[in-house]
Amino acid sequence: MRVIIEQAKCCGAGQCVLAAPDIFDQREDDGIVILLQENPSEESRADVLQAIKVCPALAIRLEG
Amino acid sequence: MSEFAAASCPFSGMREYPIKRANPLDPAPELAELRADEPFAKVRLWTGQDAWLVTRYDDVRKLLTDPRVSADNTLPNFPGATPGMLAVRTKYPSFITMDVPEHTQFRRMLTGEFAVKKIEALKPRIQQVVDERIDAILAKGPPSDIVRDLTLALPITMICDLLGVPYEDQDFFHAKADLITDSRTPPDVSSKAIQELCDVYIAGLIEKKNQHPTDDLLSRLVVNQLRPGHLTPIQLIGIARLLLIAGHDTSAHTMSLGILALLENPEQKRALIDDPTLINSTVEEILRYVDVTHNGRRRIATADIEMGDHVIRKGEGIIAHNAAANRDSDVFPDADKFRIHRDARHHIAFGYGVHQCLGQPLARAELQIVIGTLFRRIPSLALAAPVSSLEFKETSFVYGVERIPVTWES
């Protein structure tokens, strides 16, 4: 499973950080998404899917 | 075809919008009929303009993320919300009415200030304000008005803290905000309120921050954005006005209506008191259930958009009704029931798309702390008057309740 983020699309709503705090964080200066784990373990799948579902900017994708 | 859809407005054949509620904690029942029978409905606004009213969850989310849908309220035929908001639209534009990429540039000046971890650090302060307020309520004894004594005070205190606005000015700007967001306010009164709030009050505040910057959001905007020329004074006033107004009314009324929903559903209230770990799902359910932005998100099509059997034409107004979408039973089973155990995290109370509420981490933190603390400290809290006797802010852009008289076993 590979997580792909598009920082250019991110609007800094912080929804992904709430859904999966081990996978996503926000840059300190402008709140834009940072990917902490590009290939998270299978146990995180539900949280990543939740993050994708609630991201208002459609900035997160999952491959695999 | 429902009875409502067939029978509405016999003269013009056009439904008038907004549609009045039947019950204070539920959206207008006609919205459920439209969601079932006519998910794209033409409505006539108070301005005489027509717009598409969209009520299904999937359609609302699609439109709010469609690049052919604009939030630019200066475009001709943009569906106006209130006279006050129409009056303000060209004078103090703010990023909520801009489109990508201009929107991104302005919003990013603020996103760091509302990042989840930044707000996390504010939680002790929120808890302190809530505790002080509840101490005072308990010391005075029953009855109390929860709106005046608790839910209005907390977000105003927090937004004053954050922006660096003096607390003693809260009555002034709260009164002006009320006038601007109420659809009954005549345009000349709205314009005067906006002028007093923006040209005089906020402009003065910014000038003070420019002379003596302090450790607050407005000062940081002055130093980091205004002085180097990334923002004009008018743009900064627009941002400050947005944060000041949007930052307190919406949170306050969501808290008030959420407390009311819990008091009206005693078995849900009991479940929360018995298991305080339910607070996060309770708050998400409150956000889904009591949508304060009850007149929907306003947009306009900048190209023809095909949605199933419908075509929204370029230049037509759109009301993407997030409150109706949050009651879509295809997405939230038994959606008209208030159920704190459900997973409602994908509600769109904060909107959807790049304009989704910037302050939502703060709103969530405030809601979790105020609701959790209130029912932990006063578990016997009960309404001291029937809901039917309470006054609701039906005509305001931000729905709410004027007061909630409560009592408890002291």
What tens digit of pLDDT does each residue of B218-263 get? 999 999 999 999 999 999 999 999 898 887 889 999 999 999 999 9
Which chain A residues are within 8 Å of B104, Cβ to Cβ? 11
Q: What is the pLDDT of residues B275-298, one digit of tens each?
A: 999 999 999 999 999 989 998 999
ipTM of the complex: 0.94
Contact state of B111 with A30 under an 8 Å Cβ cutoff: yes
pLDDT of B3: 38
SS3 assignment, position B41: strand
Amino acid letter, B333: P
Choose among B208, B183, B201: nearest CA to B87. Answer: B183
Average pLDDT, chain B: 92
- What confidence score (pLDDT) does residue B48 get? 86
pLDDT surpassing 60 at residue B11 = no
Q: Please name the residue of chain A whose CA is at the shortest distance from the CA of residue B343.
A: A50
**Min CA distance, A51 vs chain B (Å)?**
10
| Rounded Cα gap, residues B120 and B218, in angstroms | 20
Supply the pLDDT for residue B87.
65
Residues B118-138 have pLDDT tens digits of 999 999 999 999 999 999 999
Label residue B391 exposed, middle or buried (CB < 10 Å: 0-12, 13-18, 19+): exposed
CB-neighbour burial class of residue B195 (10 A; exposed 0-12, middle 13-18, buried 19+): middle
Which tokens is B193 given?
Answer: 């309120």
- CA-nearest of B79, B106, B104 to B92 is B106
Q: Choose the mutation target among B356, B358, B362 for the interface with A, i.e. most A CBs under 10 Å.
A: B356
What's the pLDDT score for residue B96? 87
Q: Among B55-64, B73-82, B124-133, B305-314, which stretch is predicted with the lowest mean pLDDT?
A: B73-82
Question: B158 pLDDT exceeds 90?
Answer: yes
Summarised one tens digit per residue, pLDDT across range B161-203 is 999 999 999 999 889 888 888 888 888 888 898 889 999 999 9
Say if the Cβ atoms of A28 and B107 lie within 8 Å: no
Task: Give the chain A residue nearest B115 (alpha carbons).
Answer: A31
Residues 6 or more apart whose CB falls under 8 angstroms from that of B252 comprise: B147, B151, B152, B154, B155, B156, B400
Nearest Cα of chain A lies from the Cα of B281 at a distance, in angstroms, of: 13
Neighbours of B216 (CB within 10 A): 17
